[in-house]
C-alpha cells in the first residue's frame, strides 16, 4: 500500500487533512467517504509530500516541534479515554481530531491506521522514533503485555510531566543570566566599535601622549573594527573544530567527563542526570519492563557518555548476578546516598519506590542548586560588566581631562 497525505472537506463543511495508506487515490477517496464522510480534494504520496516540504521554506516548523509537554498531554488524554472504556482506535481518532501540531497529528494518524490493520500499539509507535522515543514504546509494550495499558500510560504521562517540569525550572532559572551575558556583550561591542573610534579621532587631533591603557583600548577597538571578519572567521573555525572534536568517540567521552568534574556546574549536571536515571528506571520497572531492558533504556536517556558507561557496566554486572547498587558504588560517579538507598530498596523489595524517592529528592536539590547558582551569577556578572565598562570609561575620560586642561 502507498501512504498518502490528503486534504478534504468533512461532513461539517470544514477543510480537514491527514495521512492514510491505500492502494491508490481512488481507493483512498472511497475509504474516506465511507468511514468519515470526507470528500477528498487533494492527495499526494508521502514521499512526494516530503520532497515538496523540503523545497518549501517553512521557518514555522522549527517552532512546531513536538515537545515533551505535548507528548505528556496527549498521553494523559489517551490514558483517560482508555480508562473510560473507549476502544483504542476510537481513542486515537478522538486525539487526532484535536491535535494542533501537524507532526504529531500525522504520526498519530499513521499509528491509528496501523493499529486498525491489526498491528500492536507499540509496534506502530516504533515507526516514529523522533516523536515517540524507545522509552515510550517499551513502556507501552509492557502495558499491552500485562493488560494494564491505561495504567502504564498514566505513569508515562506522570514521568513526562516531571521531566518537563525539571527542564523548565532549569531553563527558567538560567534565562536571566543568559540575557545579562548577551546584553553585556552587545554593550561592550557597541562601545568598542562606535564610541572608542570617535573618541580616538579627538585624541589624534591634539597629538597628546596617551596613557598605555588608552593606547591598548584604541588598539583593541581598531582590531575589532578593521579585522572583524577575521575574528568572526577564527571564532567560527574554533567552534567548528570543537564540535568536530566533540563528535568523535574519544572527544565526546573526555568532554562529558569534564562536564561532570567542572566546579559548581559539574555537581548540578550530575544531580540532573541522577534524577533522570532514578525516575526513568523506576517508571520502567513499575510498568513491568524487565530490569536489564530497563537499564538499557535508562542508559540511552542519560545523555552523558561517562554515566552511560557506568550504567552499561552495571548492567553487565547484573547479568553476572550482582546487585544494582554495588557496581554503581564502585564507579564513584553516583553519590553514596543514592547507592545506599538503591541497596536498601533491593533488600526490602521496594526498589521502584526507593528510586522514585531518589528522583523526587534530587529534583528538589536541583531546584535549590539552580537558585543558588543564579543568585551568585547575577551579582558576579554585574560586577564584571561594571569593571569592563568602568575600565573603558576611565581609559577615555583621563586623556579627555588632560586635553581639557591643555585647552584652558
Angle between helices 351-407 and 336-348 (to 10 degrees): 160
C-alpha to C-alpha distances, 319 to 295, 314, 315, 351, nearest whole angstrom: 11, 9, 6, 18
Does 408 lie in the same domain as 291? Answer: yes
> Which range among 43-52, 235-244, 282-291, 367-376 has the greatest average pLDDT?
235-244
Residues 142 and 20 in one domain: no
Whether residues 149 and 233 fall in one domain = no
pLDDT, tens only, 111-138: 888 888 888 898 899 888 888 888 788 8
How many other C-beta atoms lie within 10 A of the C-beta of residue 302? 20
Q: Over 90: is that where the pLDDT of 239 sits? A: yes
Query: How far out from the chain centre does Cα 268 lie?
Result: 16
State the chain's mean pLDDT as an integer.
82
Q: 261 and 283, same structural domain?
A: yes
120 and 167 in a single domain? The answer is: no
Domain holding 123, by residue range, is 65-158
Same domain as 260, residue 178: yes
Are residues 101 and 52 part of one domain?
no
C-alpha cell of residue 172:
527558567
Single out the residue in 56, 78, 100 at which a domain terminates: 56
Confidence of residue 408 (pLDDT cuts 50, 70, 90): low
Answer positive or negative: Cα dihedral of 365, 370, 375, 380: positive
The span from the CA of 252 to the CA of 269, in Å, is: 16
Q: Are residues 71 and 147 in the same domain?
A: yes
Total domain count for the chain? 3
Predicted confidence band of residue 181 (pLDDT cuts 50, 70, 90): confident
Residues 213 and 85 in one domain: no
Ranges of H-type helices in 332-350: 336-348
Does residue 43 sit in the same domain as residue 70? no
Read off the C-alpha cell for 117: 490493520
CB count within 10 Å of CB 404 equals 9
CA 50 to CA 54: how far, in whole Å? 6
Average pLDDT over residues 234-263: 90
Taking residues 182-205, what's their average pLDDT? Answer: 78
- Parallel, antiparallel or unpaired: strands 15-22 and 39-45: unpaired
Amino acid at each position: 500500500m502507498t501512504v498518502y497525505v490528503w486534504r478534504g472537506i468533512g461532513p461539517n463543511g470544514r477543510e480537514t487533512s491527514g495521512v492514510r495508506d491505500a492502494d491508490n487515490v481512488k481507493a483512498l477517496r472511497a475509504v474516506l467517504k465511507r468511514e468519515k464522510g470526507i470528500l477528498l480534494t487533494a492527495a499526494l504520496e508521502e514521499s512526494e509530500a516530503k520532497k515538496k516540504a523540503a523545497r518549501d521554506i517553512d521557518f514555522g516548523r522549527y517552532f512546531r516541534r513536538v515537545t515533551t509537554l505535548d507528548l505528556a498531554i496527549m498521553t494523559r488524554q489517551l490514558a483517560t479515554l482508555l480508562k473510560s472504556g473507549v476502544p483504542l482506535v476510537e481513542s486515537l481518532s478522538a486525539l487526532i481530531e484535536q491535535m494542533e501540531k501537524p507532526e504529531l497529528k500525522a504520526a498519530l494518524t499513521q499509528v491509528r491506521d496501523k493499529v486498525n490493520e491489526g498491528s500492536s500499539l507499540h509496534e506502530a509507535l516504533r515507526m516514529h522514533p523522533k516523536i515517540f522515543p524507545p522509552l515510550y514504546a517499551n513502556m507501552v509494550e509492557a502495558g499491552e503485555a500485562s493488560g494494564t495499558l491505561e495504567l502504564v500510560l498514566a505513569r508515562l504521562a506522570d514521568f513526562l510531566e516531571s521531566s518537563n517540569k525539571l527542564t523548565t525550572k532549569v531553563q527558567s532559572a538560567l534565562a536571566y543570566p543568559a540575557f545579562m551575558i548577551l546584553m553585556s556583550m552587545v554593550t561592550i561591542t557597541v562601545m568598542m566599535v562606535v564610541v572608542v573610534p570617535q573618541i580616538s579621532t579627538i585624541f589624534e587631533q591634539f597629538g597628546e601622549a596617551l596613557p598605555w591603557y588608552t593606547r591598548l583600548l584604541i588598539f583593541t577597538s581598531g582590531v575589532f573594527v578593521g579585522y572583524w571578519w577575521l575574528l568572526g572567521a577564527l571564532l567560527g573555525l574554533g567552534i567548528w573544530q570543537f564540535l568536530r572534536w566533540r563528535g568523535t568517540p574519544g572527544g565526546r567521552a573526555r568532554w562529558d567527563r569534564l562536564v561532570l568534574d567542572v566546579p559548581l556546574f559539574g555537581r548540578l549536571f550530575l544531580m540532573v542526570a541522577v534524577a533522570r536515571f532514578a525516575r526513568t528506571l523506576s517508571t520502567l520497572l513499575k510498568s513491568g519492563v524487565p530490569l536489564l531492558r530497563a537499564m538499557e533504556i535508562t542508559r540511552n536517556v542519560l545523555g552523558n557518555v561517562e554515566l552511560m558507561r557506568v550504567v552499561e557496566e552495571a548492567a553487565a554486572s547484573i547479568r553476572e548476578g550482582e546487585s544494582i547498587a554495588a557496581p554503581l558504588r564502585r564507579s564513584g560517579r553516583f553519590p553514596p546516598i543514592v547507592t545506599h538507598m538503591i541497596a536498601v530498596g533491593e533488600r526490602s523489595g521496594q526498589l521502584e519506590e526507593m528510586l522514585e524517592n531518589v528522583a523526587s529528592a534530587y529534583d528538589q536539590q536541583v531546584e535549590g542548586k539552580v537558585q543558588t547558582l543564579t543568585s551568585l551569577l547575577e551579582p558576579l556578572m554585574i560586577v564584571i560588566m561594571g569593571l569592563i565598562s568602568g575600565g573603558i570609561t576611565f581609559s577615555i575620560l583621563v586623556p579627555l581631562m588632560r586635553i581639557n586642561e591643555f585647552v584652558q
